[in-house]
Structure 1
Amino acid sequence: MVERIATIAKEELRLLFQLKKTERLWHIPLLASLCTGVPLLLGYFGGRLDYGVLACIGGLVILYMPSTSMEHRMLTLLLCAFGFIVSFAVGAAFSFDPIFSALALGLFAFAVNWIVHYFSLQPPRNFFFIMIASMASCMPFDMAALPTKVGLIALGTIFACLLALFYSLYILRRIPSKVSPLFVRTADRFMVIESVVIGGFICLSLLVGHLLRLDNPYWIPISCLAVMQGLNVAHVGRRSFHRILGTFVGLGFTWMLLAINPTALHLCLAILALQFIIEMLVVRHYALAVIFITPLTFFLAEIGSGFSVDTNLLFAARLLDIVIGSLIGAFGGWVLHNKQLQRIAMVHVAHRRWRRR
């Protein structure tokens, strides 16, 4: 038993310092940084950083661009852009009440996960749709401002799609594209069960944040979802540990960046650079990427308010959010990948279908 634990610990320690190989081109990180940085800089020079933040969130749709033909690339991006707009609208529309907000987010997460798996959408799969809905659900409810906010998300996605179009026109002349059908549909019983589990735990995580009266509880469901995306129980536990460790180190890195008293322009440029670094690292080492994700998300959340709140309190709140969300996600991942529970659920679904006949 002791030898088994020592072997596992040694393997986890090795993986903690291992960089994975990847065939991902540096073009995608550059595109991602431009799609987030340019709208942010336009918002800064236009005197509306809050508008720039919303538009740069929409620009993240560029991460869904597949390495396929022009038709498949643009159709995928346009559909994902529509998904981003719907995600923000759904989250913001139900932000008037914490209970309704958590229930709506859970149902939305169920629907998104089912659709993403049904059409075999490539990574990052359901993550950014649920992330945007979660962030919008925790914003102050303002129905009058909702069309403007949704429009800014749409503008960010439009900018990303235009940039993807020009990039694709260039790159497809140099690198042959993969042949891929426009829609690959897959359906199985576990897909529904997985969607139910993910929707339930996303709902629970946001509800926990509201019950604890945390300032920005959307980090709890985001962390929960990020951890639950593990491939198996061991991978889920590893992602949970890496996320907590990376956040802890990342908060120290954020504190050092803020110690030099950067201006709003410096923060915009830092966000642009951090996005590039994150996309270079996230496919190689998750914990290392989280170190840079922490300051990026921190700057995006607080740049509009000018860091008017005590940063030490913000650091403590962020670490608490990540720890709670990662622990809930670890439990959710165990439920999701537990073989015995999967068999029970499969039998239950099959029995219900047989009774309907």
Structure 2
Amino acid sequence: MKMPSEMFTMAPSRNDHQVALRCAVGVFVPLITLLLLDRLDLAVFASFGAFTGIYGRNEPHAKRFVIQLRGGLLMVLVMLLATLTARTGEAFALTASNTTWIQVLATTVVAGGCSLIIAWWRLRPAGSLFHIFAFAAIASIPDQPPLWQGMLVAVLTVALSLLIGISSRVVRSHRTPWVRPQPPRLTPGEKRAARLEAVGYLIAAGLAGTLGTLAGEWLGFGHNYWAMVAAVVPLVGHTTRHRVSRGVQRIVGTALGLVLLAGILLLRPAPWQTVLVIAACQFGAEMFIARQYVLAQIFVTPLALISTLLVAPSSPVILLRDRIVETAIGAAVGIAVVLAPTLWRRLRGRQPPG
């Protein structure tokens, strides 16, 4: 069986330490600055703006800059839409339940739309996982900071990530020719695949958000968007076996990551130590995300939850519970969406001729 073996093997390194260092610095500098300014309420905008650095991992400088610029601008747009969505509930005096369902619907649209844009631009990592996470996390913040302040932090963080991305040009041995990359052109087949993939993201995110919300209302837990994020994880991959494996690895890695997070929280780190932990987890995540998904998730889980605690403090026990339950719901939905076409073809093949 190939699926279990993927959990215990590691792909070779491709200068992952360089990418990891860029991403760690890209998130550490904005967060420590906000800490010194006593404005950690804006930390979420810095954290998601720093995702700009994950694009164009090993590309030449010019191409990396263009790729990261596109990725950063799309993330800024997502964050802007999220802050505006968060304000609709208050503007129209909606109930908490109605606001939640609006956020699920809006996040679903973001899942499909960003997936299509990412495919159109040929960005890697593929898919809209980060955009789902950013949109839903920001849209669900109850006490929104001033709009211009949040967007200023987002834009400045993206700009910093762009500078870090081309910073190695100062070292002659690492400098690559500054050649303007050709705009990506998709074949008709690739365009069709991108549209089908976007539909898959719509279905997986929408279904997971619905089930996560209903289960949360019934069992009394929140963070339904974690189910939406987990649901799209299995949609990335070239084979059905690999996609299903990613869903299983998401659950296993999350469970192990929660153990690490529990240990960190028991130490009761000071705010400046928390920022260091976030940077370290960002480094670890980028070191292994392209090589060993389970190991990467061990770092991704505390990274996501500690960032959440910075902006919206809550009970760590409840946070740990919500994370594993919502992740299990989402991953199960994603695996079901991946397997559905195969099961449908098999059922059709067994039908007797009419």
**TM class, shorter-length:** 0.7 to 0.9
**What is the alpha-carbon distance in structure 1 between the residues aligned to residue 178 and residue 57 of structure 2?**
9
**What is the alpha-carbon distance in structure 2 between the residues aligned to residue 204 and residue 180 of structure 1?**
41
Question: Does the alignment pair 1:56 with 2:55?
Answer: no
**What is the alpha-carbon distance in structure 1 between the residues aligned to residue 341 and residue 141 of structure 2?**
30
- State the AA in 1 paired with 2:161: A
Per the alignment, residue 94 of structure 2 pairs with none
**Contact 1:102/1:204 (8 A) holds in 2:** no
Per the alignment, residue 346 of structure 1 pairs with none
Shift of 1:133: 1.8
Closer/same/farther in 2, CA of residues 161 and 252 from structure 1, 3 Å limit:
same
Per the alignment, residue 350 of structure 1 pairs with none
**Contact 2:15/2:58 (8 A) holds in 1:** no
Closer/same/farther in 2, CA of residues 248 and 32 from structure 1, 3 Å limit:
same
**Contact 1:194/1:336 (8 A) holds in 2:** no
TM-score scaled by length of structure 1: 0.83
Superimposed CA distance per residue, residues 152-176 of structure 1 (whole angstroms, 9 cap, x where no aligned partner): 2222111111222323x23575354
Shift of 1:329: 1.2
Per the alignment, residue 334 of structure 2 pairs with 329
- Residue from 124, 131, 134 that aligns with 2:133: 131
Per the alignment, residue 184 of structure 1 pairs with 184
**Contact 2:209/2:227 (8 A) holds in 1:** yes
Closer/same/farther in 2, CA of residues 339 and 174 from structure 1, 3 Å limit:
farther
> What's the % identity of the aligned pairs?
21
Closer/same/farther in 2, CA of residues 153 and 164 from structure 1, 3 Å limit:
same
**What is the alpha-carbon distance in structure 2 between the residues aligned to residue 12 and residue 107 of structure 1?**
31
Closer/same/farther in 2, CA of residues 194 and 302 from structure 1, 3 Å limit:
same
- Residue from 286, 289, 294 that aligns with 1:287: 294
Question: Does the alignment pair 1:88 with 2:87?
Answer: no
Per the alignment, residue 199 of structure 1 pairs with 202
Per the alignment, residue 240 of structure 1 pairs with 247
Per the alignment, residue 321 of structure 2 pairs with 316
- After TM superposition, which residue ranges in structure 1, 4 or more long, deviate above 4 angstroms? 175-180, 336-339
Closer/same/farther in 2, CA of residues 177 and 130 from structure 1, 3 Å limit:
farther
- Residue from 226, 251, 256 that aligns with 2:258: 251
- State the AA in 1 paired with 2:197: E
- State the AA in 2 paired with 1:170: V
Closer/same/farther in 2, CA of residues 201 and 125 from structure 1, 3 Å limit:
closer
- State the AA in 2 paired with 1:162: L
Closer/same/farther in 2, CA of residues 106 and 53 from structure 1, 3 Å limit:
closer
- State the AA in 2 paired with 1:98: T
Closer/same/farther in 2, CA of residues 112 and 337 from structure 1, 3 Å limit:
farther
Closer/same/farther in 2, CA of residues 336 and 93 from structure 1, 3 Å limit:
farther
**What is the alpha-carbon distance in structure 1 between the residues aligned to residue 178 and residue 200 of structure 2?**
34
- State the AA in 1 paired with 2:247: S
**Contact 1:98/1:207 (8 A) holds in 2:** no
Per the alignment, residue 74 of structure 1 pairs with 65
**Contact 1:41/1:52 (8 A) holds in 2:** no
Closer/same/farther in 2, CA of residues 336 and 80 from structure 1, 3 Å limit:
farther
**Contact 1:227/1:236 (8 A) holds in 2:** yes
Closer/same/farther in 2, CA of residues 69 and 244 from structure 1, 3 Å limit:
closer
Question: Does the alignment pair 1:100 with 2:102?
Answer: yes
**What is the alpha-carbon distance in structure 2 between the residues aligned to residue 258 and residue 67 of structure 1?**
34
Closer/same/farther in 2, CA of residues 235 and 59 from structure 1, 3 Å limit:
same
Closer/same/farther in 2, CA of residues 84 and 327 from structure 1, 3 Å limit:
same
**Contact 1:228/1:329 (8 A) holds in 2:** yes
**What is the alpha-carbon distance in structure 2 between the residues aligned to residue 222 and residue 36 of structure 1?**
21
**What is the alpha-carbon distance in structure 1 between the residues aligned to residue 49 and residue 342 of structure 2?**
32
Question: Does the alignment pair 1:220 with 2:227?
Answer: yes
Q: How many residues align?
A: 330
**What is the alpha-carbon distance in structure 1 between the residues aligned to residue 341 and residue 54 of structure 2?**
26
Shift of 1:324: 0.8
**Contact 1:39/1:53 (8 A) holds in 2:** no
Closer/same/farther in 2, CA of residues 184 and 66 from structure 1, 3 Å limit:
farther
Question: Does the alignment pair 1:157 with 2:158?
Answer: yes
Per the alignment, residue 272 of structure 1 pairs with 279
Shift of 1:141: 7.2
